[in-house]
Amino acid sequence: MEQQTFADKKRKTVEQAEFTEDGRYLRKVRSFVLRTGRLSDYQRDMMNNNWANLGLDYQPTPFDFEQIFGNNNPVVLEIGFGMGKSLVEMAAQNPLRNYIGIEVHTPGVGACIAYALEKGIKNLRVICHDATEILRDSIADGSLGGLQLYFPDPWQKAKHYKRRIVQPEFITKVIEKLGPNGFIHFATDWENYAEHMLEVLRQFDDKLQNTSETNDFIPRPDFRPLTKFEERGHKLGHSVWDLYFIKKE
């Protein structure tokens, strides 16, 4: 039998929060085996050979960002970076910010590492683990400069809305992790999910300030790199909704 490498072993049992139909958090969590797509040999090698420099593993205590990055620059966390191209480009465009990307799809993690190496990126680390566990245990309160979530799974059927990551419990946790003036930036191409996101964020008016002049969505910002996924959607006539909120001091 072929021996499993580090990258192959990044299939794990993780926790997933359950929510009620109206978005309230249920205290139970269920475990499931994370099954990811097939790793190419190249992606596997990128993970195996470069994890020490570009990867971070889950830990039950908060990361020391200053030790990890060698500076005190703001840290931005992105959940679900896909293949990582836009995240790498954003890190390249913002050298005075540090970026951490979380993705459970191992081929995407390998591809992101490869592109980061190609671009010579130093201010980026990637995590292959469940985001709720990382937020809960590995990120110190008040330590993030921002949280990005672009094009998450919309769970289109109404009976599956409770599986959407953007729920009041999730936002509560994110706010805890943000420092003063830290931002939350969401983007989706599903109007129903965009309205859901806005409704959830509006529940935190005492803690979050919407930067939209119309108190809903912002125009597509130039600083968010255009992904192939989004570009394809534009050609098909799909709209994209961006939300940008700032934590109040």
DSSP 125-172: EEE-S-HHHIIIIIS-TT-EEEEEEES-----SGGGGGG-S-SHHHHH
Residue 227 counted as an annotated binding residue: yes
Amino acid occupying residue 2? E
What residue ranges define each of the domains in the chain, with the CATH number in brackets?
41-247 (3.40.50.150)
Question: Which residues, other chains included, contact 1 with Cβ-Cβ below 8 Å and sequence gap of 6+?
Answer: none
- pLDDT value at residue 29: 44
Active site residue 41: no
Residue 41 counted as an annotated binding residue: no
Q: Could you tell me if 184 and 245 are in contact, meaning their C-beta atoms sit under 8 angstroms apart?
A: yes
- pLDDT value at residue 135: 95
Residue 188 backbone phi and psi in degrees, to 5: -150, 155
Q: What is the DSSP string of 202-221?
A: HTTTTTEEE--TTSS-BPPP
Residue 157 counted as an annotated binding residue: yes
What are the 10-residue block averages of pLDDT along the chain, 249 residues in total?
66 51 50 57 91 95 98 97 95 98 92 97 96 95 97 77 87 97 95 95 98 97 86 83 96
Radius of gyration of the chain (CA): 18
Residue 10 counted as an annotated binding residue: no
- pLDDT value at residue 40: 86
Give the C-alpha separation, 215 to 102, whole Å. Answer: 29
Q: Could you tell me if 12 and 106 are in contact, meaning their C-beta atoms sit under 8 angstroms apart?
A: no
Annotated catalytic residue, options 64, 137, 141, 153: 153
Residue 58's nearest CA partner among 14, 121, 123, 17 is: 14
Residue 230 counted as an annotated binding residue: yes
Q: Are strands 241-247 and 208-210 parallel, antiparallel or unpaired?
A: antiparallel
- pLDDT value at residue 30: 41
Residue 153 counted as an annotated binding residue: yes
Residue 229 counted as an annotated binding residue: yes
Residue 234's nearest CA partner among 223, 216, 214, 220 is: 220
Residue 159 counted as an annotated binding residue: no
Residue 144's nearest CA partner among 155, 160, 131 is: 131
Confidence (pTM): 0.86
